[in-house]
Structure 1
Amino acid sequence: MNEAPAEPGWLRRTLPHSRRGRLVLISALVLVLAGTGLGTWAADTWPWPNDRYCWGAWEEDSGPGFLGDEAFGDDDDGSRTGRETAPTRERPTGSCEVAIASDYKSSYDGDKVTTDQKVSVEYGPVPKAAEARLAMVQDGFLGGDMVPLPDGLPGTVNGRGGLLVLPKSCDTQDGRPTVVTMHASGTYTSGPSYTKNDPADLGGARQAAVLLVAAANRAMTAAGCAPDEPLRVSSPLYDLPGKQERHFSPSDDVCGIRGLRLGTADTEDQIGAVTRDLQTCSVRGNRDGVPYLNLAMVAQPRLAAVFDGIAGERPAARGWRGTGTLGKEHAIVRADCAGRPVIFLMGLSTDPGHLAVFANAAAARLGCAPIAPKGADR
């Protein structure tokens, strides 16, 4: 059953949506009431609570830009609206969305400025189909600009969103983990011809982690699978991604791994986390931004569990350790390494040699035997 915020009263519906716009109108009302001897409320004590969003997890004016007046730019009448469907015990899927819209004339050049931004959250199990699962998790949340969530929480985050794998108590009956994902998007248009991507402001990667975990706690409670103690973000983020590095020659090594070459000139790589639990890297064209390669090593147990059941029962190719598949859009290999299962992932590239070089380099760093046989990188 869909759930929506309660319908506001008639007076609140007549007010501007932004807090700044409401205060301007309220101040005028206070002056009028004061002139008649009835003005007893100051503007900042008007008796209406701040709006809440995403199953009550986020409060208006609580810190991140998309929840404050700065989201509206110079538009005193900008709107922020919420839509949501809460998960339940019987239907453990849900979603929520905060949408910001503003439309005003630029104080700089008089051009019409329009912004449309969204923050979307999804709650539910990972897909059954292998390709859909890899596309959702690897392509969306294991890029080189993602960092591990702090405090041992299984997942990743950046300034535009993140993914959190929930405790086993929220797993489906067939064993698939349930995840909460968050994604900020948006566009900024000025004048008749200028448009750029302008995602809603989450306040940086750490604030995004706080938002993600707050939404997850509310969703787990609604679905009846919350742990005894709520999940928390109390530590800073570590292992921040390095600077993007350009490569001008087809023979340059990428991702900081000797022998990992794309044979393509003018690329840019982004090296993300390099830890015992997670290693990521992305490569794209420097000029056109076209993505060429995504690589990831996942050993954190709950995050690795997202890929359970989709690596097959046979080696990815002759001589490879573990099990896996080399598909047209994604490749996955699961093998024991340093006493625990480790997942090696590749997206975009169809060259198994790229995965071979990456997997063997990651395995050597972890102190275990090679994953791909000698010569597989050619």
Structure 2
Amino acid sequence: MSLVSALVLALAGAGFGTWAADTWPWPKDRYCWGAWEEDSGPGFLGDEAFGDDDDGSRTSEETTPTRERPIGTCKVSIASDFESSYDGDKVTVDQQVSVEYGPVPKAAEARLKMIQDGFLGGNMVPLPDGLPGTVNGRGGLLVLPESCDTRDGRPTVVTMRASGTYTSDSSSAQSDPADLGGVRQAAVLLVAVANHGMEAAGCAPDEPLKVSSPVYDLPGERELIFSAGDVCGIRGLHLDTDDIEDQTGAATRDLQTCSVQGSRDGLAYLQLAMVAQPRLAAVFDGIVGERPVARGWRGTGRIGKEHAIVRADCAGRPATFLMGVSTDPDHLAAFANAAAARLGCAPIAPKGAAR
């Protein structure tokens, strides 16, 4: 036997033939500080993300949090161009999954815009297993343990968002977010990247956070609201406009969310939330003011240009009531009193405030 033949046989015995069949066990790519592995389940991490494109690309840009600078970002980008096997159109797909790790902003309006506008809408539900945060099929927010707080006491959070566009010869760009694999899988991805971020920043708990339960509370469907109808299922809460629809995300002891938007244009009209989960509510510490929002209201709060916030004791613990887009005190009063009644505590706003 020649030396070359012997070498070929040796390589085959060692698995060279497997490599030739494209199943050689090369290390899989990992993304976002090592948290996510290629082909580990969600669509955006597998070949299905590329559609009919055999040459699609998946790239990652990241900045890892450290003890000295506990701020980090990560973005996984998917790009593909192919001819549709359905109608022959040329298709271009650009998708992203973006992660941010860092403390909540100091300024009240910036913090409310980030947390309430981004992660307390009617399309969000609580994370499972009592984890302090919210999630849906396009992303979520997780508040990290106190060991990760800043020196001035602000909580650190991890946020995740999926986005993307789909463009073809016969249509303009359409929203086509990266596939996270559903609500529960999104929660798993969020918790995994949070664990790796905390390890890098040196504030991880003794036991890593984990998702072990299903997500029981799923966002409700959008429902058309007829003229002068109650929105968010709250008696007496009306908007003086037609062609609107609402969506309720959660109605638990810890969290209640609802959003109202235009049924035709998708324009936001109202966003409401009640947060009583202690660690999630901590993201609003320091911005609730020191006085009632008006005479007769319980607790303290403030009404700004785009957001309103009130915090009051309710059923033995603090509850935070939030309103975005609208700053009409009557809307906040109707929601806060309805949420308080559901929790079994006294009204937040005085009688007649919501008229």
Q: TM-score, normalised to structure 2's length?
A: 0.94
Question: Which letter maps to 2:17?
Answer: W
Match of 1:13 in 2: none
Measured in 2, the distance between the counterparts of 1:95 and 1:242 equals 31
- How far off is 1:276 after superposition? 0.6
Match of 1:197 in 2: 175
Partner of 2:284: helix, strand, or coil? coil
Match of 1:313 in 2: 290
Match of 1:179 in 2: 157
1:282-323 deviation line (CA, Å, top 9, x unaligned): 000111111100000000000000000001111111211111
Q: RMSD of the TM alignment (CA)?
A: 1.3
Are positions 1:41 and 2:17 aligned together? yes
Match of 1:83 in 2: 61
Measured in 2, the distance between the counterparts of 1:242 and 1:96 equals 30
1:260-298 deviation line (CA, Å, top 9, x unaligned): 001111211001110110000000011111110000000
Match of 2:337 in 1: 360
Are positions 1:334 and 2:294 aligned together? no
Partner of 1:359: helix, strand, or coil? helix
Which of 145, 151, 154 aligns to 2:132? It is 154
Measured in 2, the distance between the counterparts of 1:268 and 1:52 equals 41
Which of 237, 259, 264 aligns to 2:236? It is 259
Match of 2:203 in 1: 225
Instruction: Answer with 151-160 or 367-376: which moved more.
Output: 367-376
Which of 342, 348, 355 aligns to 1:371? It is 348
Measured in 1, the distance between the counterparts of 2:116 and 2:251 equals 16
Question: Which letter maps to 1:248?
Answer: F
Identity over aligned pairs, percent: 81
Match of 2:271 in 1: 294
- How far off is 1:363 after superposition? 0.6
Question: Which letter maps to 1:302?
Answer: R
Are positions 1:324 and 2:301 aligned together? yes
Question: Which letter maps to 1:363?
Answer: A
Measured in 1, the distance between the counterparts of 2:171 and 2:245 equals 28
Pairwise mapping of residues 24-63 of structure 1 onto structure 2 (< 5 A)? 40-42=16-18, 43-63=21-41
- How far off is 1:47 after superposition? 4.2
Measured in 2, the distance between the counterparts of 1:96 and 1:246 equals 37
Measured in 1, the distance between the counterparts of 2:27 and 2:289 equals 53
- How far off is 1:183 after superposition? 0.2
Partner of 2:312: helix, strand, or coil? strand
Question: Which letter maps to 1:241?
Answer: P
Measured in 1, the distance between the counterparts of 2:81 and 2:99 equals 25
- How far off is 1:242 after superposition? 2.1
Which of 75, 91, 104 aligns to 2:82? It is 104
- How far off is 1:192 after superposition? 6.1
Measured in 2, the distance between the counterparts of 1:224 and 1:255 equals 42
Measured in 2, the distance between the counterparts of 1:47 and 1:256 equals 54
- How far off is 1:104 after superposition? 1.0
Question: Which letter maps to 2:262?
Answer: G
1:316-347 deviation line (CA, Å, top 9, x unaligned): 11211111111120000011111111100000
Which of 111, 114, 127 aligns to 2:92? It is 114
Instruction: Answer with 56-65 or 187-196: which moved more.
Output: 187-196
Partner of 1:153: helix, strand, or coil? coil
Are positions 1:67 and 2:45 aligned together? yes
Match of 1:8 in 2: none
Partner of 2:253: helix, strand, or coil? coil
Match of 1:166 in 2: 144
Measured in 2, the distance between the counterparts of 1:256 and 1:198 equals 30
Match of 2:109 in 1: 131
1:106-132 deviation line (CA, Å, top 9, x unaligned): 122222100000000000000000000
Are positions 1:235 and 2:213 aligned together? yes
- How far off is 1:247 after superposition? 1.1
1:4-30 deviation line (CA, Å, top 9, x unaligned): xxxxxxxxxxxxxxxxxxxxxxxxxxx
- How far off is 1:45 after superposition? 3.6
Partner of 2:17: helix, strand, or coil? coil
1:130-166 deviation line (CA, Å, top 9, x unaligned): 0000000000000111110000100000000000000
Question: Which letter maps to 2:272?
Answer: L
Gaps of 5+ in 2: none
Runs of 4+ in 1 over 6 A off after TM superposition: none
Question: Which letter maps to 1:48?
Answer: W
Measured in 2, the distance between the counterparts of 1:192 and 1:362 equals 47
Question: Which letter maps to 2:40?
Answer: S
Question: Which letter maps to 1:109?
Answer: D
- How far off is 1:241 after superposition? 2.1
1:45-73 deviation line (CA, Å, top 9, x unaligned): 42421100000000000000000000000
Q: How many residues align?
A: 343
Measured in 2, the distance between the counterparts of 1:338 and 1:46 equals 60
